[in-house]
Structure 1
Amino acid sequence: MATLYRAIVCSLVFQHLPWTASAAKEDLRYVNPLIGTDNGGNVFAGASLPYGLAKPVADVAGQNTGGFSTDGSKVTGFSHMHDSGTGGNPSLGNFPLFPQYCADNIVDNCKFPITARAVYHNNHTVVSRPGYFALTLENGIHAEMTAAHRSALYRFTFPAKSAVNGDALDPLILLDLTDLWESRQNASIAIDPHTGRIKGNGTFLPSFGAGYYMSYFCADFAGARVRDSGIWVNDRAGSEPKELFVTRGFNNFYLQAGGWVTFDSPDSGEVTARVGISYISSDQACANAESEIPSPLDDFERLRTEAEEAWADKLSPIKITPGGVSSSMLTSFWSGIYRAMLSPQDMTGENPLWQSNEPYYDSFYCMWDQFRAQMPFLAILDPSALSRMVRSLLDTYKHEGWLPDCRMSLCKGWTQGGSNADVVLADAFVKNITGIDWDLAYKAMVNDAENEPLEWEYEGRGGLQSWKRLNYIPYLDFDYLGFGTNSRSISRTLEYSYNDYSLSVVGRGIGKKDYTKYLSRANNWQNLFKKDQTSYLENGTDTGFVGFLQPKYLNGTWGYQDPIACSALASFCSLTSNPSETFESSVWEYLFYVPHDMATLIKLLGGPESFVSRLDYFHTSGLADIGNEPVFLTVYDYHYAGRPGLSAARAHTYIPASFNASETGLPGNDDSGAMGSFLAWSMMGLFPNPGQNVYLIIPPFFEAAEITHPETNNTATIRNVNFDSSYRNIYIQNATLNGRPYTKSWIGHEFFTQGMTLELTLGETESDWGSRKEDLPPSLSDAVAGMDVHRV
């Protein structure tokens, strides 16, 4: 109840903020960055620009993967770099600051180690808005923060007297040479005794990848006279020396160390901390801060306003006619869109690994999550940014030899399934994202399909000998060309099939004759379909369905994986825990992952009626894991069986039950805005089949949605007739496109670029709209529609 109460209060506060009267800023008031900060959403709640590198927020001791959580745990510091929505180990959180008082103004009376200094905050004081975050600690210190692109600005307001004993004390701000994961290998720090400027660097480990990275900082303070400074190690501090080099420590004894500055009690009570960050050098971190925040005492409100304006501009292509829906539904919608533009982070000019004039983006975390909804969303909302991201992927290929599948902090992240940058490229191609060298893109995709890297756990694909010879990835494959986690044979087979389909799309589109080879490989998924395989629940109940994917050995004989294993009814399966032949998903769920040839899948499963029955069982039995990305397309797979109305009904079972405006309002990790994008697409009434020029149509959750394409400046409109905000009328009875009858259950990207109007007449019961064979979304096995890979 406390979480729900805070969500309601936050929503009411947003509705009375003194925003500028522009439409975009009116929408911005509905963004609540606290959604998903509890219950495993791991959302970043702090201040950031769109795709910004600097991301300041309060870090807590509890659910701190994204830094801050509304779980009520203690605040341990305020750090300047974060990722949003990721799973696994906490990401970034490098070089946190922590303000406090020292009893009797004796530095050694302050608390330096993380657990000793941690303090509760008052929940009702938390304010989180685009470009701004604030809270008040239990000791009375009020912390506010905002961000430029590569630097953060904090404003700490100290009470006139200590909350501990009422004495007038001088404040201290420490800087800790650590990160949220405590992965630091070594670090250096230096304090200027005259100005209090702290500079330093550290070597850290990526939270979901291989190798290490170095990051740098430069911290300046203003608002009060610097009284003293020095370093601290473990629980003791000293004014001398002013420099320190620290290693990790031995075994479990993690050395805690950093620097500190004390100030005379400020007249205004405020001390600002400006922190520049860089991956190049401490000097560049200082230069970033000085150029972006030249006057720390005066720039706070300017930065905050500029951040609001930047976010309002990014939201401006979309306009909603609510039609009486609740403010919480609007908050869910706009917050989901906001989270889609927190990552990847624009690190152009901050890449020390190679020299290039191309953009560099980082925190693709991971494309296995992002390609399904988040990156296709940018194709309509911010195509110029998507172009820069794709160019960055291709530049990474040029300099490192492979398209990344997952990347963070300059490091190669673990590959979760296939080479899913291929799907990102194909999606950009069919949607005519400009500024991309498509010959280079095709070369990079062919490299994924033909060449096996030595270490395919973090780039490319493994098992390519078997893939080419046997046309599937075998269970317990014999692979001596490269090395990786020898698991996921089922999910990799399905993903490789779609990766090769994506390659054929680009190849055919730019006139490459060998595209037919990859089009043929796109059928390989069928080689793991065992038509007589049954499935039982854990209590022995027969699910009643026959025909499932199963692992297959090198010699062509069948292995076995329980179809319900790795589902929401069984144990979670990942690379590190319980590795199986499907990744983070079950055989039940992966069975529906044939995005390019659903017609063949439906035929294998006994036809449309049997397929719908199986899909219903999957979603109603507890097998479906709505908290993980592979489930997304299954919500809309009814379209391919001629039942688009059931896709609409299924979307309404998950929204708002699993996606809502509370702090626990996400069913799983947001994964760089993937969950938010799924929500936003669904509420707008379209869902992409990424890598294809296909958007599946359901009625929007609003009376109307308008999307103005940022490059063509044409406005696409989806309008409901007979809309009711109680959602009784959720079934399309008939439709018109630009005033003419429209019977297809899908539409292409030209809807956005040309600015069409789709009007949907709704009713309370399912109709036969979109049910004819000629109205179904295209499949590869369809001789006509399946070859439609045209660009728009």
Structure 2
Amino acid sequence: MLNLLNSFLLVAYLSIGISAQNTNFDPLKYVNQLIGTNNGGNVFAGATLPYGMAKAVADVDGQNTAGFSTDGSNVTGFSHMHDSGTGGNPSLGNFPLFPQFCDEDVVDNCNFLGAGRATQYVNESVVATPGYFALELVSGVKAEMTVSEHAALYHFTFPPNRTTRNGTAFSPLILLDLTDLSASRQNATISVDEKSGRMMGNGTFIPSFGGGSFMLHFCADFAGSTIKDNGIWVNNRAGTEPKELFVTRGINLFYIEAGAWIRFDPTESNEISARVGVSFISPEKACQNAETEIPGPTWDFEGLKTNAESTWREKLSGVSIEIGGADENLLTNFYSAMYRTMMSPQNYTGENPLWGSTEPYYDSFYCIWDAFRSQLPFLTIIDPISLSEMVRSLLDTYLHLGWLPDCRMSLCKGFTQGGSNADVVLADAYVKNLTGIDWNLALRAVINDAENEPLDWSNEGRGGLQSWKKYNYIPYLDYDYLGFGTNSRSISRTLEYSYDDYCVSILSKALGLANYTTYLARSGNWQNLYKDDMRSVINGNDTGFTGFLQPKYLNGTWGYQDPILCSPLDSFCSLTSNPQETFEDSIWEYQFFVPHDIATLITQLGGPDAFIDRLDFLHESGLTDIGNEPSFLTCFLYHYAGRPALSAQRVRTYIPDFFNTSTTGLPGNDDTGAMASFTAFCLSGLFPNPGQNVYFITPPFFESISFTNPLNGKVSTIRNVNFDPEVDQYIQSATLNGGNWTRNWIGHEFFSEGWTLELTLGGNESAWGTGDGDVPPSVSTSSMASMMF
């Protein structure tokens, strides 16, 4: 075997692909960016760098949360910043460009308004590869784009030799629209230089899932032909004078559409290039970003595209796969998922006008409620260097704003969905030995979450802390005068605060605080909402299960929420739409969210067999929405009942049926890589319990998969022995580095030390991993020290 410590540059070509030692393997060929671009996956399909700020793609008037969709809708522009996989309102898409010919070559005959200029794209023309996106409009205009970190480069090729009725050649026109995807602009400015054609300006916008506003700046340059004329446009009328504009939102429901335009003399090729720099600092900084990253006088499109491809190839080449006869689509599913885990959070270092700092600044934590479960833990394995920077950014945000964010986008505070979930991220980073982090600062930050209530806990920290400490649960209709937020989700917040406090106890004990026991005790508060005589009925039929979580008033008496409410069998519950005592999922799902003490939960629900029956019912009755993150962990909880084979079986009911390589191949919002990381982990054969040093073991979907540690070059491998991709297989026995291994879980040392785990498979469930000492640890059955592998 090659010594990867001395031959690190060869890692991209080692043991990857369809056959062993295939040195011609290119992981980029197995990235399908169109997965999840329809049916609510909301995946960004365009050109970007890993964690890049610039994200260029065509924007459509259909499912446009991430800009582009394969739903066959119309293109309204090409813009330079997006988020990926978010729900709710469309995000970013600021300052789109749009290329067109004007009827009879008269500027005022052009369609400047978004609805008027919307144009169908040719379905088979769409090309999306890492760092590149292209399509053709039915108007005949072809568009292709690539990016640097803070700038986008476009090539627009207009149909040549088109003439007006009097024989005059059409002049290519490109407009810039002072809007964004959700039409949230409050005000904006733009100027266009008559001679150079440079457009500069900015706008103030509203984030798509948060409070406040942000100002974004742009700088657009053009090349490819001589300038014929330019100017501004407002409400579908245009003129060559003046050359600058200030526009407000409008009045009542009337949204003023406005921007600038530029026309060019026709040429033989009719190819016009546009370079757009973006910045949160100033228009001048946007110009500097563009000029530095895409220098002139000629803009090297192919060089920029090649650089993006090389960057992505390096990131993706840390994972090696021997497919062993499995369906090649699984290879595409894995590398596409791995790719999507590295689009967000976005690296805005040097672009934060809110405070001065030498620390990294990452944005688009959208939201940590989604990301803490598997996306950020996946980065711990494949890109710990970037994840350490993200953690440092979270801590720097705490240092300057006073609170760890739970959600953050476009320099704004996003809405808190449940607990203070950055606490879990920090605990997970600690138990997995991430480096370069100020752990004393981390401890202060998580204790602040646990002890102090912010005035507005709808976008940071926790609410109801007075009741949390006094009553040991979050009451239904809580009386909370210390701060203000959406006074709902009393059940799901109780569960999340319990786990958050467990994570606080991990850091507190590790860093020598004697009162870690306070937080450890609070981590058991979830039990105070368990009503042992509660039953659940579906369509008039008793499910046969007794004992469910229920809301509880301040005086200790019980409230009521139907256990199936907020499930796929009933109705969706968000912060503002149908708010209930659980968030985005039902009591049926949330009853299993006790990640640190599943052993107690198993006892509470009647023992291992009853626990398994309830898990099976959850997954087989239609109550589970696998497209929502709370369902992820429930697929693997069979491990705690000594039945790891059932976890493996459960995973295979969802992959590839619900997670596959089609444009509709995601069951819900990708949530900045949450669905992607669930897919990648499941295919790999390991899945994390975040905040703990625990990975559940199931058979990989391939013959073997290897991870190269970016910090030390060590290679960890999971290998299936007797692998048969045509039938369901179960682990019969396992060895770790050649020695017998009976635990059905493993720690992060597997990745950091470069160990080899071999799983011997067979056609039937075996006794492997079923013993009392083989199950993952719980607080009630193990000391905290033993939680560290």
Alignment of 1:733-744 (within 5 A): 733-744=732-743
The AA in structure 2 aligned to 1:621 is S
- 3-state SS, counterpart of residue 542 of structure 1: strand
Contact 1:24 1:313 in 2 (8 A): no
The residue number in structure 2 matching 1:751 is: 750
Residue 327 (structure 1) shift:
2.2
Partners of 2:66 and 2:415 lie apart in 1 by 19
The AA in structure 1 aligned to 2:126 is V
Residue 296 (structure 1) shift:
6.9
Residue 789 (structure 1) shift:
4.2
Residue 702 (structure 1) shift:
0.3
Contact 1:729 1:762 in 2 (8 A): no
The residue number in structure 2 matching 1:590 is: 590
Contact 1:272 1:296 in 2 (8 A): no
The residue number in structure 2 matching 1:575 is: 575
The residue number in structure 2 matching 1:683 is: 683
Alignment of 1:486-565 (within 5 A): 486-537=487-538, 539-565=539-565
Q: What does the per-residue CA deviation read over 1:515-571, in whole Å, with 9 as the maximum and x for residues that have no partner?
A: 11101100000000111100001x111111001100000000000000000001110
Partners of 2:734 and 2:163 lie apart in 1 by 65
Residue 163 (structure 1) shift:
9.4
Alignment of 1:381-780 (within 5 A): 381-537=382-538, 539-726=539-726, 728-780=727-779
Residue 167 (structure 1) shift:
6.4
Alignment of 1:303-342 (within 5 A): 303-342=304-343
Query: Runs ≥4 in structure 1, deviation > 4 angstroms?
Result: 21-25, 163-167
Partners of 2:694 and 2:317 lie apart in 1 by 24
Partners of 1:586 and 1:597 lie apart in 2 by 20
Q: What does the per-residue CA deviation read over 1:405-454, in whole Å, with 9 as the maximum and x for residues that have no partner?
A: 00000000000000000000000000000000000000000000000000
Partners of 1:366 and 1:164 lie apart in 2 by 51
The AA in structure 2 aligned to 1:254 is Y
The AA in structure 2 aligned to 1:446 is I
The AA in structure 2 aligned to 1:510 is L
Partners of 1:417 and 1:458 lie apart in 2 by 10
Q: What does the per-residue CA deviation read over 1:675-723, in whole Å, with 9 as the maximum and x for residues that have no partner?
A: 0000000000000000000000000000000011111211100000111
Contact 1:373 1:678 in 2 (8 A): yes
The residue number in structure 2 matching 1:61 is: 61
The residue number in structure 1 matching 2:200 is: 199
The AA in structure 1 aligned to 2:144 is E
Partners of 1:93 and 1:512 lie apart in 2 by 47
Residue 251 (structure 1) shift:
1.0
Partners of 1:708 and 1:216 lie apart in 2 by 39
The residue number in structure 2 matching 1:344 is: 345
Alignment of 1:49-448 (within 5 A): 49-162=49-162, 168-295=169-296, 297-448=298-449
Partners of 1:282 and 1:267 lie apart in 2 by 33
Residue 25 (structure 1) shift:
6.1
Partners of 1:406 and 1:164 lie apart in 2 by 53
Partners of 1:87 and 1:553 lie apart in 2 by 32
Q: 1:23 to 1:461 in 2, by over 3 A?
A: farther
- 3-state SS, counterpart of residue 203 of structure 1: strand
Residue 326 (structure 1) shift:
1.8
The residue number in structure 1 matching 2:3 is: none
The residue number in structure 2 matching 1:788 is: 786
The AA in structure 2 aligned to 1:122 is V
| Fraction of identical pairs, as percent | 66
Contact 2:104 2:164 in 1 (8 A): no
Partners of 2:177 and 2:570 lie apart in 1 by 41
The AA in structure 1 aligned to 2:499 is Y
The AA in structure 2 aligned to 1:443 is R
Unpaired runs of at least 5, structure 2 = 1-20
Contact 1:733 1:760 in 2 (8 A): yes
- 3-state SS, counterpart of residue 56 of structure 1: strand
Contact 1:153 1:296 in 2 (8 A): no
Partners of 2:502 and 2:700 lie apart in 1 by 30
The AA in structure 1 aligned to 2:53 is L
Q: 1:711 to 1:344 in 2, by over 3 A?
A: same
Q: What does the per-residue CA deviation read over 1:758-783, in whole Å, with 9 as the maximum and x for residues that have no partner?
A: 00011111111111010000100013
The AA in structure 1 aligned to 2:780 is S
Contact 1:274 1:296 in 2 (8 A): no
Contact 1:394 1:403 in 2 (8 A): yes
- 3-state SS, counterpart of residue 543 of structure 2: strand
The residue number in structure 1 matching 2:17 is: none
Residue 23 (structure 1) shift:
5.4
Partners of 2:231 and 2:328 lie apart in 1 by 50
In the superposition, the TM-score normalised over structure 1's length comes to: 0.96
Contact 1:133 1:145 in 2 (8 A): yes
- 3-state SS, counterpart of residue 619 of structure 1: helix
Contact 1:142 1:156 in 2 (8 A): yes
Residue 787 (structure 1) shift:
3.8
Partners of 2:786 and 2:504 lie apart in 1 by 14
Q: What does the per-residue CA deviation read over 1:735-772, in whole Å, with 9 as the maximum and x for residues that have no partner?
A: 01111110000000000111111000111111111110
The residue number in structure 2 matching 1:28 is: 28
Partners of 2:673 and 2:229 lie apart in 1 by 43
Partners of 2:179 and 2:619 lie apart in 1 by 43
Contact 2:55 2:82 in 1 (8 A): yes
Residue 319 (structure 1) shift:
0.4
Partners of 2:376 and 2:267 lie apart in 1 by 47
Q: What does the per-residue CA deviation read over 1:643-684, in whole Å, with 9 as the maximum and x for residues that have no partner?
A: 000000000000000000000000000000000000000000
Residue 161 (structure 1) shift:
3.3
Partners of 2:379 and 2:96 lie apart in 1 by 32
Partners of 1:252 and 1:666 lie apart in 2 by 35
The AA in structure 2 aligned to 1:482 is G
Residue 725 (structure 1) shift:
1.7
Partners of 1:24 and 1:504 lie apart in 2 by 49
Contact 1:505 1:789 in 2 (8 A): no
Q: What does the per-residue CA deviation read over 1:264-285, in whole Å, with 9 as the maximum and x for residues that have no partner?
A: 1133221100000000000000
The AA in structure 2 aligned to 1:761 is T
- 3-state SS, counterpart of residue 492 of structure 1: helix
Q: Alignment length, in residue pairs? A: 768
Partners of 2:719 and 2:201 lie apart in 1 by 55
Contact 1:24 1:316 in 2 (8 A): no
- 3-state SS, counterpart of residue 26 of structure 2: helix
Partners of 1:328 and 1:707 lie apart in 2 by 20
Partners of 1:435 and 1:389 lie apart in 2 by 11
The residue number in structure 2 matching 1:7 is: none
The AA in structure 2 aligned to 1:35 is I
The AA in structure 2 aligned to 1:233 is V
The AA in structure 2 aligned to 1:753 is S
Q: What does the per-residue CA deviation read over 1:55-83, in whole Å, with 9 as the maximum and x for residues that have no partner?
A: 00000000000000000000000000000
* Root-mean-square deviation (Å): 1.3
Partners of 1:327 and 1:449 lie apart in 2 by 47
Residue 729 (structure 1) shift:
3.8
- 3-state SS, counterpart of residue 682 of structure 1: helix
Q: What does the per-residue CA deviation read over 1:4-25, in whole Å, with 9 as the maximum and x for residues that have no partner?
A: xxxxxxxxxxxxxxxxx99596
Contact 1:197 1:221 in 2 (8 A): yes
- 3-state SS, counterpart of residue 673 of structure 1: helix
